[in-house]
Chain A
Amino acid sequence: MDMHAHDRRRFLALTAAAAATPLLAACGAGFGGDDDKSDGSAADDVTGSFDWKREKGTTVKALLNKHPYTDALIADLKSFTEKTGIKVEYDVFPEDNYFDKLTVDLSSGRASYDVFMLGAYMVWQYGPPGWLEDLGPWMRNSSATGADWDQADFFPNLLQADQWSLKAGAPLGQGGQYALPWGWETNVVAYNTDVFKKLGLKPAETFDELRDIARTIKQKAPGAGFDGMYGIAVRGSRSWATIHPGFMTMYARNGLKDFTVEGGKLTPAMNTPKAVAFTEDWAGMVKQGGPPSWTSYTWYQCSSDLGAKKAGMLFDADTAAYFQAVEGASPASGKIAFHPGPKGPDGSLATNMWIWSLGMNAKSKKKSASWLFLQWATGKEHLLKSAITHNHIDPVRKSIADDAAYKNKMNNLPGFIETFEAVVDQTKIQFTPQAQFFDATTSWASALQEIYGGQGAGSVLDGLAGDLADKVG
Chain B
Amino acid sequence: MGWRLNLRPYLLIVPALLLTCGILYPFGLGLYYTLFDFSASKPQPDMVRFENYETVFTQEAFWNSAWVTVLYAVGAAAVETVLGVAVALLLHRSTIVGRVLEKILILPLMIAPVIAAIIWKLMLQPSVGVINYLLRPFGLGGVQWTDTPTGALLSSIAVDVWVYTPFVAILALAGLRSLPTSPFEAAAVDGAGWWYTFRRLTLPMLWPYVLVAVIFRFMDSLKVFDIIYALTEGGPGDSTVVLQIRAYLEAIRFQRYSFGISYTIVLWAVVYLAAMVLVKHLGKIQRKAAEVPAK
Contacts and interface: CB of A to CB of B under 8 A. Distances in A.
Interface of A: 4, 7-8, 11, 15, 19, 22-23, 26-27, 30-33, 100, 103-104, 107, 125-126, 128-130, 228, 237-239, 291-296, 310, 435-436, 438-439, 442, 445-447, 449-450, 452-453, 455, 467
A374 B32 CA distance: 40
Contacts of A26: 29
19 contacts: A7-B6, A8-B9, A30-B44, A31-B33, A31-B36, A32-B43, A33-B43, A103-B252, A125-B255, A228-B127, A237-B233, A238-B235, A238-B237, A293-B125, A296-B235, A436-B254, A442-B253, A450-B236, A467-B61
A31 B6 contact: no
B155 to A, nearest CB: 11
Interface of B: 6, 9-10, 17, 21, 24-25, 28-29, 32-33, 36, 38, 40-41, 43-45, 61, 121, 124-127, 142, 144-149, 152, 232-238, 249, 252-255
B254 A100 contact: no
B146 A293 contact: yes
Contacts of B33: 31
Contacts of B252: 100, 103-104
Contacts of B253: 100, 103, 438-439, 442
B255 A107 contact: yes
Contact of A128 (B10, B41, B61): B41
A23 B25 contact: yes
A238 B28 CA distance: 33
A183 B55 CA distance: 41
Of listed A33, A128, A295, A439, residue having the most chain B CB within 10 A: A295
Contacts of B146: 293, 295-296
A436 B17 CA distance: 42
Q: Sorted from nearest, which 9 A-B pairs have the closest CB atoms?
A: A238-B235, A292-B126, A450-B237, A449-B236, A238-B233, A295-B236, A439-B254, A19-B21, A129-B40
Given A238-B233, A293-B125, A125 B25 contact: no
A289 to B, nearest CB: 14
Nearest to B21: A19
A293 B43 contact: no
Given A7-B6, A238-B236, A453-B237, 6 more contacts: A129-B41, A130-B43, A238-B235, A293-B144, A293-B146, A450-B238
Nearest to A294: B147
Contacts of A446: 234-238
Of listed B32, B44, B127, residue having the most chain A CB within 10 A: B127
Contacts of B24: 19
A103 B255 contact: yes
Contacts of A8: 9-10
B121 A296 contact: yes
Given A31-B43, A103-B255, A4 B238 contact: no
Given A238-B235, A442-B253, A449-B235, A295 B6 contact: no
A295 B125 contact: no
Contacts, number: 115
Of listed A442, A449, A453, residue having the most chain B CB within 10 A: A449
The SS class assigned to the A binding surface is: helix
Contacts of B29: 23, 26-27
A32 B39 CA distance: 11
Contacts of B10: 8, 11
A433 B165 CA distance: 48
Contacts of B144: 292-293
A439 to B, nearest CB: 4
A128 B40 contact: yes
A266 to B, nearest CB: 14
Contacts of A100: 252-253
Contacts of A294: 147
A103 B17 CA distance: 34
A126 B232 CA distance: 27
Contacts of B147: 292-295, 453
Contact of A31 (B45, B124, B145, B236): B45
Nearest to A35: B44
A107 B41 CA distance: 11
A453 B43 contact: no
A291 B233 CA distance: 18
A293 B142 CA distance: 10
Contact of B235 (A11, A130, A295, A467): A295
A442 B6 CA distance: 61
A26 B28 CA distance: 11
Contact of B126 (A128, A129, A293, A435): A293
A27 B28 CA distance: 10
A238 B255 contact: no
A133 to B, nearest CB: 17
A107 B39 CA distance: 10
Contacts of B121: 296
Contacts of B25: 19, 22-23
Contacts of B233: 237-239, 296
A7 B6 CA distance: 10
A40 B146 CA distance: 53
Contacts of A452: 236
Contacts of B41: 128-129, 435
Contact of A23 (B28, B142, B234): B28
Contacts of A436: 254
Nearest to B245: A238
Contacts of B254: 436, 438-439, 442
A364 B126 CA distance: 47
Of listed B33, B40, B61, residue having the most chain A CB within 10 A: B40
Nearest to A293: B126
A125 B237 contact: no
Nearest to A96: B230
Nearest to B248: A100
Contact of B234 (A11, A19, A238, A467): A238
B226 to A, nearest CB: 13
Of listed A30, A296, A436, A452, residue having the most chain B CB within 10 A: A296
A446 B61 CA distance: 12
Contacts of A103: 252-253, 255
Given A23-B25, A296-B121, A449 B255 contact: no
A32 B145 CA distance: 43
B115 to A, nearest CB: 14
A15 B36 CA distance: 28
A98 B88 CA distance: 43
Contacts of B45: 31
Contacts of B40: 107, 125-126, 128-129, 435
Nearest to A437: B254
A124 to B, nearest CB: 10
B6 to A, nearest CB: 7
A292 B142 CA distance: 9
B43 A129 contact: yes
Contacts of A33: 43
